[in-house]
Amino acid sequence: MTSNSIIKIGDNELDEIIILINDYSGYDFSDYSKQSLQRRVQRYIDVNKISDFKQLLQDLINDSAMVNNLIEELTVNVTEIFRDPSFFASIRNELVSQLNNLPVIKIWHAGCSTGEEVYSMAILLKEYNLLDKSIIYATDINQTVLDVAKSGKYNLDSFKENENNYRESGGNKNLSDYYTVLNGEVLMNDELKSKIIFSTHNLVSDNAFNQFDLIICRNVLIYFNKSLQDKVLQLFYNSLTKKGMLAIGSKETLLFSPIESKMQVINAKWKTWKKKV
Ligand SMILES: C[S@@+](CC[C@H](N)C(=O)[O-])C[C@H]1O[C@@H](n2cnc3c(N)ncnc32)[C@H](O)[C@@H]1O
């Protein structure tokens, strides 16, 4: 809330919004972290200069496009190419050898946002000659970010800024080897795009849809409360092949979750784990 906020979103207002969204869209945010949701709704109200909360509820009831817009505001979509380069270095050093032994590699990026993380992984696989035998599923709750991911088009400046991420992750080519530039935009190479299937999947309500050798879900669980985190970790466990690997965000954990005793740590700092059997 800024000092200019016209109305303040407290616990009751937040609950009313969560119920309304569920009733009118079927998206259930009740197990998201309240603190983060509160900040996002407050921001929506401040940016749109909304001064009457009851009127906001009425407008949302009458306008499904407005509900969709609010839902998109509730999810945080920040990401970048080779985000946390040391994480990708640990994949190169500690996970690739296991992937190498597989006849086909199935990977699931859950909560992939605009897709930079997925293309980073595809580039990495290509550098170990593993891309050809890989199938990468990339999912998110938000169709708008998935459309960007699917297009493979990004802002050129942000890619140039992150050229160092690629190098720091252990890449020894040029990031620009993996895209062409068109009208000031980056366009990811078709070879990378052809190995990725983008689709919507809601971690709150959708089930397991395949078996994966590696699941990557970073910076998503952090927005969920403990009971939803546990449920989603169980979904990941059920979706892993024997000895399958799981990577979560550096601020996330599976300690004290129902799957902790069934997983062994690969890298404690970069939160990579492996199914014990
Ligand atoms: C901060 S981004 C993380 C992007 C990427 N994994 C990274 O670490 O750079 C979080 C993503 O989780 C997605 N998300 C939030 N709730 C979700 C849900 N219930 N099911 C699937 N994706 C969800 C958001 O739409 C957003 O794109």
**Is residue 143 assigned to a domain?**
yes
Summarize pLDDT for 18-44 with one digit per residue, the tens: 999 999 999 999 999 999 999 999 999
pLDDT, position 6: 79
- Kindly state whether residues 150 and 258 are assigned to the same domain: yes
- Kindly state whether residues 202 and 265 are assigned to the same domain: yes
Summarize pLDDT for 95-117 with one digit per residue, the tens: 999 999 999 999 999 999 999 99
- Kindly state whether residues 47 and 133 are assigned to the same domain: no
pTM for the model: 0.96
Provide mean pLDDT across the span 167-181: 96
Distance CA(144)–CA(160), nearest Å, equals 24
- Kindly state whether residues 105 and 140 are assigned to the same domain: yes
How many angstroms is it from 52 CA to the middle of ligand 1?
30
What are 137's two structure tokens? 């599923």
Ligand 1: which atom is nearest the Cα of residue 113? 27
Range of the domain at 219: 85-275
Over its C-alpha atoms, the chain yields an Rg (Å, rounded) of 20
Summarize pLDDT for 235-256 with one digit per residue, the tens: 999 999 999 999 999 999 999 9
- Kindly state whether residues 63 and 107 are assigned to the same domain: no
Distance CA(273)–CA(257), nearest Å, equals 13
What are 211's two structure tokens? 């078996």
Domain count across the chain:
2
Amino acid at the residue 199: S
* Residue 29 neighbours by CB distance under 10 Å: 24
- Kindly state whether residues 95 and 52 are assigned to the same domain: no
- Kindly state whether residues 68 and 139 are assigned to the same domain: no
Kindly list the protein residues whose Cβ atom lies closer than 6 A to any atom of ligand 1.
Answer: 75-79, 83, 111-113, 117, 140-142, 145, 202-204, 218-220
What is the helix (H) or strand (E) element at residue 74, kind and residue range? helix 64-74
Of 74, 96, 112, at which residue does a domain stop?
74
